[in-house]
Amino acid sequence: MSHTTAVYRTFILAIALTAACTVDSGYADPPPLLGKPASLDEQLGLFPSSSFSLTTGQCAGCRTPEQARWYFQNDVIAIPTADLHQQDSPASPTQPFVVWVGSPEIIEQASLTPDRHHLQLVEPDRSVPIQIEAKLASNRSYYNDATAEFFAQRSLRIRGKTVQRAEGPTFMARMIWPSDYRLDRATALYGASPQLPSLADLIEAEEGGANTPYRTHVIWEQPKSGTHTWAGKPVLALMLNGAQGDDDEAHGGHFGIITGRVGPHGEWADWLMNNFYDLNVVSEKGILPAMLPLDQYLMDLNSGQAYYRPSYLLTLVLKQDRIPVSFQTAAIHSFRQLYRHETEYGHSTLNCAGLSLDILRGIGWQVPQQGPTSRLKATGGFIYFAATERSLASGRKLYDYFSEERTRLLPRVTFEAIGSDAITLITSPAAIAPRPLTEMERWLQDDVEAIVLVRIPQIPSSRPLGAAPVASLDEYQRRVPADRSQWKTIAVPPRPFPNELRVRPAPVEATMIPGPVLAVLGLVLTILAGIGWMLYRRITCRKQEAD
């Protein structure tokens, strides 16, 4: 029996939950919980955690699809307590069928003691030992003295679990969240101004902001009285993660869309991130595609995005739930297809940006397209790589990148396209007057109360600082070494999916590549036609000269 299973059994016994899985007890006398159960008085995005049960992917008889549970066999997940087939009414929106919470306990308010080995709890007022979750062997960098110093300066929210040590119960921290990370209009470092800023300028400011303080910028807000707050308001938010400092394959960044409600004091740690990611590889940091709380997404000690790049959070504060409910319901369907491998993640054709934007467009927000980067470069690149590397697959990969519609390809382009369209729809509707608006776009004009950008720095650790993500494939090429052998890369092993869990046969890599082939034939025919025309003109001119 694994240590994780033993701790989970302790948690089940301690809080008397009736879970849908069976595990063995590893303790004769379970240690008292040092944190509160993660299912108590919490939110999971738009939903109260009380409507979920905590379990692991090994649970027997769970209503959650077995394909999804297979990815979380030894990790803590939340599954709905209600029947998944009885959640179709607008009054009771469909709940996520699985949320990756990672840890069974939460300490809401604590601070590190000067020795960095204990937590001073606010309630109850006592000190408890703390240990840090072990670094994954494949992870290149981790929490260090600089990290401890960063967290020692602020109040903390921590996800983890109580473990029994010889000296007594200890809290094993898996996620540490700075409690001063809030969405609070009263403490925004930048206020709304008559001149709307460019999202590109805000992203690029201070070299991307990897080591600058946490900052909030109110881009736009409806005029309100001085007592107005955003507490309890629903949100739809966009997350853009920057470029990594130690991986030349990750300058494009990452993207996702978030739903939730602003906390009583501007908290946003419990918003729900819809993180689309490649299921078919084992991430060196332990990242899995999932619906998960933002604190877990950003600050998990191994997989947290904030540990290896800066991030940018663009939030639409709303009057009512209908927009985030519509998005989350559609996202749940997309995750079901992804886990079942009815949809196959693709880095150029169906990645985090493309999947997220397809959902948004599918519910009626027609974010304007920008077209491909260059079909000519796509065709030329295909010919070059197919010839020099003797690999049609390499040529096809480059072809797909340069021919894909840009708003579905690069996270930063997606982020700026959606954000800029939101700002225009809400603040300058006359600028898009010729555009016929959908019902969803009219909801945006009616419901948005504020547009807020949060710049989130990289957490200090042993990892090099990241930067703002690239805004084009050409910029990507300028950033990386010209010699591909000089690239800093991280090899990840494949994650084979069991055939018995597939709902359709595994896809077979196509031997025919009609897109590039047709493009090459078109280019060849164009060149031949050009040569023919030149010959024709030359012959015609000579005949005229002879006459």
Higher per-residue pLDDT: 24 or 406: 406
CB neighbours (10 Å) of residue 537? Answer: 10
pLDDT score at 263 = 96
- Whole-angstrom Cα distance, residue 222 to residue 217? 15
**pLDDT band, very low/low/confident/very high, at 486 (cuts 50, 70, 90):** very high
pLDDT score at 320 = 96
Contacts of 367 (CB under 8 A, 6+ apart): 357, 360, 361, 407, 417, 418, 421
280: nearest Cα among 330, 331, 359, 347: 347
User: pTM to 2 decimals?
Assistant: 0.87
pLDDT at 206 over 90: no
pLDDT at 544 over 70: no
List, in sequence order, every beta strand (DSSP E) within 215-294: 215-221, 234-241, 254-261, 272-275, 290-293
Mean of the per-residue pLDDT values of the chain: 85
- Whole-angstrom Cα distance, residue 319 to residue 94? 20
User: Which stretch of 244-248, 371-375, 407-411 has the lowest confidence by average pLDDT?
Assistant: 371-375
- Over residues 64-120, the pLDDT tens digits come to 999 999 999 999 999 998 765 454 444 457 899 999 999 999 999 999 999 998 999
Torsion on CA atoms 189, 192, 195, 197, rounded to nearest 10: 50
pLDDT at 358 over 50: yes
pLDDT score at 398 = 73
Whole-number CA gyration radius for the chain: 26
- Over residues 30-46, the pLDDT tens digits come to 668 999 999 888 999 99
